[in-house]
Amino acid sequence: MAIALIPYPVIDPVAFYVGPFPIRWYALSYIGGLGLGWLYAWALLRTDRLWNGTPRPRPQSIADLVLYLALGVVVGGRLGQVIFYQPEYFAAHPIEVFEPWLGGMSFHGGLIGAALAIWYFALESQTPLLTVADICAATAPIGIFLVRIANFVNEEQWGRPSDVPWAMIFPDADNQPRHPSQLYEAGLEGLLLLLAVALFVRGGALKRPGVVTGVFCVGYAVTRIISEFFRQPDPQLEQLSYGLTMGMVLSVPLLLAGAALLLYTLRSRAKPVPGDKRGGLQ
């Protein structure tokens, strides 16, 4: 097997200290994702041409949505890790369930928590559910990108052994060169998905509630399944049949739901604009 040509840049997982309290890159990635997502959502809501009269929440109300999402993502992400990935470990170490800053969050669990937060905000603000979901779907890849970079810093979720020239040796794993799969996921699930969703937003997808959400669900599921071919499976889940990983299995329902939502949304007729007797999507 070839020697890794790119050394792993060992980075202290603690970014800085506030007195005796450590502030970790992992926590900052979530804070940064929510903060930048907030700014992006604000900009989208203030751009009238993207909506063409489609009902949407007031930009000022996004602060409430961010708060609900923060709670939903953290609680859902941690519970997803406990239930889907490491139930036996956390049964033996129950206190660590309440220490998410050490790492270990499930995207699919966080997605369930975020969905509940979106539902509650839509109900509270009397905004169409799919419109709120579209706003979140447009901004979510920002946070995904930052969290995957934090996974790289934390030396977690490393890749499968490989002899590619850019393979790295992760000190906390073993002495085998491995794919830096966290960076693959940052590029695919983060940057590439952000660009793809942004192109749909720029093309007017927000005028048809549900399209952006469907694109995000399909896009994330596909990029996650691709990434799983390079990511080391969790040891406790290697017994899954046919070479499947838990990430792949959990992404299939997301893929189907996104495809069904796109089919439903694109086949439904858009509400006619007042004064326009043609109706439909022009």
Of 148, 134, 146, 144, the closest CA to residue 41 belongs to: 134
* pTM for the model: 0.84
Q: How confident is residue 277, by pLDDT bands cut at 50, 70 and 90? A: very low
Report how far residue 124's alpha carbon sits from residue 122's, in angstroms, rounded to the nearest whole number.
6
pLDDT band at 5 (very low <50, low <70, confident <90, very high): low
What average pLDDT score do residues 12-36 get?
A: 90
DSSP assignment string, 157-183: S-B-B---TT-B--TTT-SS-B--HHH
Distances (CA, A) of 193 to 66, 116, 126, 187, 238: 21, 23, 29, 8, 28
Each domain of the chain, given as residue ranges in start order, spans 16-267
Give the number of other Cβ atoms within 10 Å of residue 190's Cβ.
24
Query: Residue for token digits 């469907």?
Result: 214
The C-alpha atoms of residue 171 and residue 124 are separated, in whole angstroms, by 48
Which pLDDT belongs to residue 19? 87
Of residues 249 and 272, more confidently modeled: 249
Task: Specify the pLDDT at position 279.
Answer: 36
Burial pattern 122-151, b for ≥16 Cβ within 10 A else e, equals beebebbbbbbbbbbbbbbbbbbbbbbbbb
Give the position of tokens 């779907």.
137
Give yes or no for a contact between 29 and 123, defined as CB atoms under 8 angstroms apart. Answer: no
> Is pLDDT of 55 > 50?
yes
pLDDT tens-digit map of 231-258: 998 765 545 677 788 889 989 999 999 9
pLDDT tens-digit series, residues 113-155 = 999 999 999 999 999 999 999 999 999 999 999 999 999 998 8
Cα 82 from Cα 78, distance rounded (Å): 6
